């Protein structure tokens, strides 16, 4: 059904798809890799099977998978069986590919992919057909099933191990994605640090479908899992999570604004038909590849509530306001788990409407999941347990064996630069602008002309606008609206009548007035956006407005602005009907 996404004549639009899922991770805090971690992760996944969705076929799931730190022992053992030598860990990478299921088509596509990898300067050491059990998924999943191939590549001699190698692999991945059609070649992961096993499966089917996962040499210190429940969505193998870094439970209700922000900043959207979760990772990866850490990138994209009345340090409030001057928020509900193969963490957005519970055990294992009980733990073995509150984050660094919590993580980001000084020196408010002359009186003929141009009707003026202007009260209008939709009406309509609320009604709890007061604001920033990949004082050279609804005096102040970084132009929206 993916072809529907490209047929604009139909009423189906993929951007209205939303999901609510189960997710979590288990990590050995000291970084010691073991098969026990993998088996426990698979148990976690199976125990959240009820959070996954299914259609008319009970054996076909909406999607499930596992993302883990590179199982070096497994690939070393597999290559040894073929008398091949694997370089040291970090000096090789594995591409996990979905290719055509047909044997001949798969071989041809693999040959083309390997050729392009070689041409890019990455020696291909080995290709491997990933074992799978065809019967352990439903008919629809079988019909859409791709071929599964792993390609092992060596680090080029002119590339340093670590982040430099990862960045070059990212560039190669994007080159491959642009060369080959997504339906014929999808890259689940291509990294020296992580690998993904996923599919159009139920949570309990993942371990049954991929025999690799039960190999005793499949050892890892980090395993991140996800079980997908999609509403009004056509599941597919590539839409399954986890993605390359993230697993997401919830939906991004500010997706359209965030997409527009990405486009205006020249940030490439990998695939317009991707889910909101995939686009969230898309933007996060852009920031990550340009030097941001994953925790900082997520703090920038998914901000906490920092308005008046919230308890936080002045440095943290300045950090959040600074980012708000040039970043579009990715507001949920959203609970996130993330990893780069070394660090692993969990993060909850400021709405706090998706559960994320954690348990730290005496054996130095940390479990985070959408619910408790996904791993059997003796109460006496629990060191600490809890639940993430809105905008809280938990981070494990397996290279140092350290667990960091929200306060330390946010303090490190907030104190990295003098954000408050930058705001004081560069951010303007309407109250700081010089007074400007405004003519609040208008001849009735001119006023009627404006009403006519903007599509105001007699009913709107008499029953809505006049009571609001005279009494400052809410307009009271009888329920029921039988006029044609603005887009279908043959008469001129007000611009505002074309706007309708867009949100995931199926899965979103209602926003209560207490949370709304803290989380939702009407302020905005006007001005040219700076470089989101690096922090500079120029980024916050903006004009802050408390509301998009301006008085005549405020409007006149803005029209009179004449600053190097804040230039104003006045455009007419009127047009000649005879043209």
The tens digit of pLDDT for each residue in 327-377 reads 999 998 899 999 999 999 999 999 888 999 999 999 999 999 999 999 999
For Cα atoms 311, 512, 14, give the angle at the middle one, nearest 5 degrees.
105
Which residues does the annotation mark as catalytic? 21
In a domain, residue 280? The reply is: no
Structural domain boundaries, residue 469: 444-559
**Domain annotation covers residue 187:** yes
**Residue 17 placed within a domain:** no
- Three-state SS for 91-103 is CEEEEEEEECCCH
- The CATH number of the domain holding residue 95 is 3.30.70.60
Q: What is the pLDDT of residue 479?
A: 55
Across the chain, what does the average pLDDT equal? 89
Distance CA 185, CA 176 (A): 9
Please report whether residue 256 resides in a domain.
no
- 386 vs 521, higher pLDDT: 386
Using a pLDDT cut of 70, give the percent of the chain over it. Answer: 92
For the segment 535-556, the average pLDDT, to the nearest whole number, is 92
Q: Measuring CA to CA, which residue among 240, 278, 275, 331 is closest to residue 13? A: 275
Task: Please count the structural domains in the chain.
Answer: 2
Last residue of a domain, one of 136, 171, 192: 192
Domain assignment present for 569 = no
Pure H helices in 402-539: 406-414, 419-426, 444-453, 458-460, 466-471, 513-519
- Looking at the chain, the whole-number percentage of residues with pLDDT higher than 90 is 65
pLDDT score recorded for residue 16: 43
* Whether the predicted pLDDT of 426 surpasses 80: yes
The lowest-confidence range among 154-163, 486-495, 539-548 is 486-495
Q: Say yes or no to pLDDT of 58 above 90.
A: no
Better-predicted residue by pLDDT, 273 or 224: 224
pLDDT confidence tier of residue 18, bands split at 50, 70 and 90? very low
| Residues 222-250, mean pLDDT to the nearest whole number | 87
Residue 501, pLDDT score: 58
Higher pLDDT, 485 or 381: 381
Of 333-342, 358-367, 394-403, 467-476, the one with minimum mean pLDDT is: 467-476
Q: On the CB side of 567, how many CA atoms lie within 13 Å of its CA?
A: 3
pLDDT band at 99 (very low <50, low <70, confident <90, very high): very high
Helical axes 294-301 vs 276-289, angle rounded to 10°: 130
Tens digits of residue pLDDT in 255-299: 889 999 999 988 988 888 888 899 999 999 999 999 999 999 999
Determine the pLDDT at residue 34: 98
- Residue 1 predicted with pLDDT over 60: no
* Ramachandran quadrant class, 171 (left: phi over 0; alpha: psi -120 to 50; beta: rest): alpha
Is a pLDDT exceeding 70 seen at residue 28? yes
How does residue 170 score in pLDDT terms, banded at 50, 70 and 90? very high
Q: Which residue in the block uniquely carries the two structure tokens 């959408």? A: 370
C-alpha to C-alpha distance for 33 and 221, rounded to whole angstroms: 4
Task: Check residue 6 and give its pLDDT.
Answer: 44
Residue 7: pLDDT over 60: no
Query: What band does 510 get if pLDDT is binned at 50, 70 and 90?
Result: low
Measure the CA–CA gap between 176 and 172, rounded to whole angstroms. Answer: 6
pLDDT for residue 3 = 42
Q: Is residue 319 part of a domain?
A: no
Tokens of 453: 């141009």
In a domain, 164, yes or no: yes
CA separation, residue 21 to residues 220, 354, 503, 579 (Å): 24, 10, 17, 52
- pLDDT on residue 19: 44
pLDDT over 80 (residue 502): no
Q: For residue 552, what pLDDT is reported?
A: 87
In a domain, 421, yes or no: no
Mean pLDDT score, 528-548: 92
DSSP code for 560:
T
pLDDT band at 55 (very low <50, low <70, confident <90, very high): low
Q: Please report the pLDDT score of residue 233 as a whole number.
A: 56
pLDDT given for residue 5 in this prediction: 41
C-alpha 333/C-alpha 353 separation (Å) is 6
Q: pLDDT by residue (tens digit) across 302-333? A: 999 998 778 899 999 999 999 999 999 999 88
Q: Are strands 428-429 and 543-545 parallel, antiparallel or unpaired?
A: parallel
pLDDT at 14: 44
Token pair 């494990």 is at which residue? 396
- Mean per-residue pLDDT, 545-555: 90
């Amino acid at each position: 059904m993916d072809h529907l996404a490209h047929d604009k004549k139909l009423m189906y639009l993929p951007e209205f798809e939303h999901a609510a899922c189960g997710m979590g991770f288990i990590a050995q805090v000291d970084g010691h890799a073991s098969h026990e971690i993998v088996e426990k992760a698979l148990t976690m996944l199976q125990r959240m099977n009820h959070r996954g969705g299914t259609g008319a076929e009970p054996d076909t799931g909406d999607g499930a998978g596992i993302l883990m730190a590179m199982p070096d022992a497994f690939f070393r053992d597999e290559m040894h069986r073929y008398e091949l030598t694997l370089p040291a860990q970090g000096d090789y990478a594995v591409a996990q590919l979905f290719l055509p299921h047909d044997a001949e088509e798969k071989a041809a596509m693999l040959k083309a992919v390997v050729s392009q990898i070689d041409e890019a300067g990455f020696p291909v050491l080995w290709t491997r057909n990933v074992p799978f059990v065809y019967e352990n998924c439903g008919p629809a999943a079988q019909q859409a099933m791709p071929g599964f191939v792993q390609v092992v590549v060596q680090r080029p001699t002119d590339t340093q191990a670590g982040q430099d190698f990862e960045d070059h692999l990212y560039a190669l991945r994007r080159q491959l994605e642009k060369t080959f059609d997504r339906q014929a070649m999808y890259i689940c992961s291509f990294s020296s640090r992580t690998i993904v096993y996923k599919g159009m499966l139920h949570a309990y089917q993942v371990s049954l479908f991929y025999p690799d996962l039960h190999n005793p040499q499949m050892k890892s210190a980090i395993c991140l899992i996800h079980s997908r429940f999609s509403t009004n969505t056509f599941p597919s193998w590539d839409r399954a999570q986890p993605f390359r870094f993230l697993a997401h439970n919830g939906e991004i209700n500010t997706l359209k604004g965030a997409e527009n922000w990405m486009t205006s900043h020249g940030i490439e959207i990998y695939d317009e038909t991707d889910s909101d979760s995939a686009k969230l990772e898309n933007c996060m990866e852009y920031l990550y590849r340009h030097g941001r850490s994953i925790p900082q990138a997520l703090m920038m994209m998914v901000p906490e509530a920092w308005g008046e009345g919230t308890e936080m340090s002045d440095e943290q409030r300045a950090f959040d306001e600074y980012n708000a001057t040039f970043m579009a928020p990715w507001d949920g509900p959203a609970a996130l788990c993330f990893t780069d193969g070394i660090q692993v963490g969990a993060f909850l957005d400021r709405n706090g409407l998706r559960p994320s519970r954690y348990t730290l055990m005496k054996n130095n294992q940390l479990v985070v999941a959408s619910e408790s009980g996904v791993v059997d733990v003796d109460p006496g073995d629990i060191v600490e347990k809890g639940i993430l509150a809105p905008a809280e984050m938990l981070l494990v660094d397996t290279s140092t064996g350290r667990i960091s919590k929200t306060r330390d993580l946010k303090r490190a980001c907030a104190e990295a630069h003098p954000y408050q000084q930058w705001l004081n020196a560069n951010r303007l408010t309407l109250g700081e602008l010089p007074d400007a002359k405004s003519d609040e009186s208008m001849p009735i003929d001119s006023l009627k002309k404006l009403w006519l141009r903007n599509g105001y009707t007699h009913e709107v003026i008499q029953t809505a606008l006049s009571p609001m202007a005279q009494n400052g009260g809410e307009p009271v209008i009888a329920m029921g609206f039988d006029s044609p939709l603005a887009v279908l009406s043959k008469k001129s309509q007000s611009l505002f009548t074309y706007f309708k609320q867009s949100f995931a009604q199926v899965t979103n709890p209602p926003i209560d007035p207490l949370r709304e007061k803290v989380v939702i604001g009407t302020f905005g920033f006007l001005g040219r956006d700076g470089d989101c990949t690096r922090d500079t004082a120029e980024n916050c050279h903006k004009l802050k407005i408390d509301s998009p609804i301006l008085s005549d005096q405020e409007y006149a102040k803005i029209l009179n602005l004449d600053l190097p970084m804040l230039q104003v132009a006045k455009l007419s929206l009127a047009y000649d009907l005879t043209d």
